[in-house]
Structure 1
Amino acid sequence: MADLVAPVRVSPLIKFSRWSLLLLGVSYGAIRYSSLSKKENANREIEAKQKAIRDVKLAQEKERLAKEELAELARAAGVEPLP
């Protein structure tokens, strides 16, 4: 088998820099996540309010289209559509 060479000793400055940047990245991510989650929660509240309005409009539109379809079917069948 080939003889393995001993690993190179890493400078303490490099080790410190790596760990510092890792911790800095983790803390940045936590702060950024907190900021974005607050914004998203505000957007969800707004969308929930708009959803109620949108659902009412969609229900009205669906009812109107159903009445039009029934009237069209009645005309196609030769029956007088109900008012």
Structure 2
Amino acid sequence: MTPMEELKRLAQTFVDGQDRSMELVGEIEGILVSNFLGAELFESLAEAVSLYRPGEGLPYYDEEEMKLALQESLGINPSNT
């Protein structure tokens, strides 16, 4: 599986609500840093993944804001499962 495929798989898991943990977002961040540093994709998601703290309020990203960031950056939608 390519890094992009793995990134999309993890993002889909988040978007679908199967896992919204900070650990999952940490995995997403790791793939971004290891494989997409300096790329437009990294720039579009770096703030969201680094500030993801559900329930903490501003300036942090909550679950819905993280979901939207992943959807917009990766062009994914919720599965119909």
Task: State the TM-score, normalized to the length of structure 1.
Answer: 0.21
**Greater helix share, 1 or 2?**
1
Q: Which has the higher contact order (CA 8 A, sep 6+)?
A: 2
Task: State the TM-score, normalized to the length of structure 2.
Answer: 0.22
